[in-house]
Amino acid sequence: MTRRYFGTDGIRGTVGQPPITADFALRLGHSVGQVLRRALGPSGGRPATVLIGKDTRISGYMLESALEAGFASAGVNVLLTGPLPTPGVAYLTRALRLDLGVVISASHNAYPDNGIKFFSARGEKLPDAWELDVEAALAQAPEWVDSARLGRARRVSDAQGRYVEFCKSTVSGELTLKGLKLVVDAAHGAAYQVAPAVFHELGAEVVSIGCSPNGTNINDGVGATAPQALVAAVKEHGADYGVALDGDADRLQLVDADGRLYNGDELVYLLAMDRRAQGEAVPGVVGTLMTNMAVELALAGQGMELVRAKVGDRYVLEELVRRGWLLGGESSGHLLALDKHSTGDGIVSALQVLQAVQRRGQSLARQLAEVKLFPQTMVNVRLAEGSDWTRNTVLAREIDAVRQELGRHGRVLIRASGTEPVLRVMVEAPDAAVSRAQAERLAALARA
């Protein structure tokens, strides 16, 4: 069975257009409630309980109410946190011993979009099989419970404070950020209150930007997907570092005092090296198909393996669990340290990086001096309806030829987009001109 509603990170789309409508959210809450009750089985009369958090989009009110009604109609209790980062929902779901976590967010998208994603009782992304069960339930008639068994709802008044304390607990008790000046950019999103609080309570002088949400300005010119605002603010305020999160605060971009931006590939390498310096065993790191080859070579030089998963932090997580490893991430800034949290967390990742800087006594630039990222050129080729690029034999031969020319000093990645009729052609090489020329060469053949 193919998934109709779920994508790589839950269900997402434009508000007011299926499936991001109030009536669908009600049906979804009811269907998830049915799946949850069946999975729990007889529980001595204890109703299932779910936690719902959201970012700052104006549409969050509508979707929250609809989901709450859907869960209640299936006999499931609901706890509401209000605005809270996605990793905060994952943490509280686990800490409060709840049955499911729900996040209303479209992450880094602009405010006209929204989405709904789920976490297990362990605070982990749920597998494809669970999503297929939910889609099957959506196709079935509802099973309304009688009035005596309807679910109840209440607010969790201290959700943000609990999450702030959790974030602080993920670093050494000896870590202090006193003497550091930080710019914190929360993208006018879910972390607009908690992110400045975490860094301030650890001693930093905090300059906040992107912390004034109005329901329609999330990710608008600020945050991890628009780091130029952070670079400018770091320079303006003479800050030591800048931390940018996205709308739901599960990804991180970091800037140093010189305005240099560090992506997720560099930061996961830094964390691996810091763990190794502390005497921990780090057999390898999980990246994705897009992880920069320079990081792979740098890790190999240190005796650590890079394993590539499909694009998406859920696939990085699955590979980490399968191998029993702890560190992984994406270049976009989704970083995973499974001994600190069960999911990607922008605030926790930033604290891990700042801790590495402090205890090694070297700047980020110094610690990453040996990692020279290869230029990557990505060309999107719009495919004609019904076309099958895998049958393009001329393109296949040219891909092989380019790979032979690049040898061990470059990569070719061709993949179809999962969300639109587009073929993504990526070539990576030490020389930007070579990368660009080879990518255009392959893209031209893909269009033919």
Mind listing the pLDDT tens digit for each residue in 343-400? Answer: 999 999 999 999 999 988 889 999 999 899 999 999 999 987 777 888 899 999 999 9
* Domain segments of the chain as ranges: 11-159, 171-260, 263-367, 376-447
Burial 274-299 (b: 16+ CB within 10 A, else e): bbeeeeeebebbbbbbbbbbbbbbbb
pLDDT per position as a tens digit, 312-328: 888 999 999 999 999 99
Q: Is the separation of the CB atoms in 283 and 326 below 8 Å?
A: no
Band the pLDDT of 7: cuts 50, 70, 90.
confident
Q: Among the options 59, 105, 107, 332, which is catalytic?
A: 107
Tell me the chain's radius of gyration from C-alpha atoms.
23
Quick one: the chain helix, strand, coil %, rounded to 5? 40, 20, 40
Tell me the HSE value of 444 on the side-chain side, using a 13 A CA sphere: 7
What is the assigned CATH class of domain 11-159?
A: alpha beta
Of residues 9 and 367, more confidence is placed in 367
Q: Looking at the domain that runs over 376-447, which CATH code has it been given?
A: 3.30.310.50
pLDDT above 70 for 409: yes
79-88, 89-98, 218-227, 417-426: segment of lowest average pLDDT = 417-426
pLDDT above 90 for 261: yes
Question: What is the 8-class DSSP label of residue 209?
Answer: E
Predicted pLDDT of residue 419: 61
Cis peptide before 19 (omega within 30 of 0): yes
Average pLDDT, the chain: 94
Cross-strand bridge partners of residue 63: none
Q: Looking at the domain that runs over 263-367, which CATH code has it been given?
A: 3.40.120.10
Residue 119 tokens read as 């976490």
- Provide the 10 A C-beta neighbour count for residue 367: 20
Residue 48 tokens read as 């299932």
pLDDT above 60 for 44: no
Band the pLDDT of 418: cuts 50, 70, 90.
low
Predicted pLDDT of residue 42: 64
Residues above pLDDT 70, as percent of the chain: 98
**10: alpha, beta or left? (left if phi > 0; alpha if psi -120 to 50):** left
Predicted pLDDT of residue 233: 98
Say whether 332 is catalytic: no
pLDDT above 80 for 250: yes
Judge if 171-260 and 263-367 fold alike in CATH terms.
yes
Domain 171-260: give its CATH superfamily.
Alpha-D-Glucose-1,6-Bisphosphate, subunit A, domain 3 (3.40.120.10)
pLDDT above 90 for 20: yes
Q: Is the separation of the CB atoms in 267 and 244 below 8 Å?
A: no
pLDDT per position as a tens digit, 157-191: 999 999 999 999 999 998 999 999 999 999 999 99
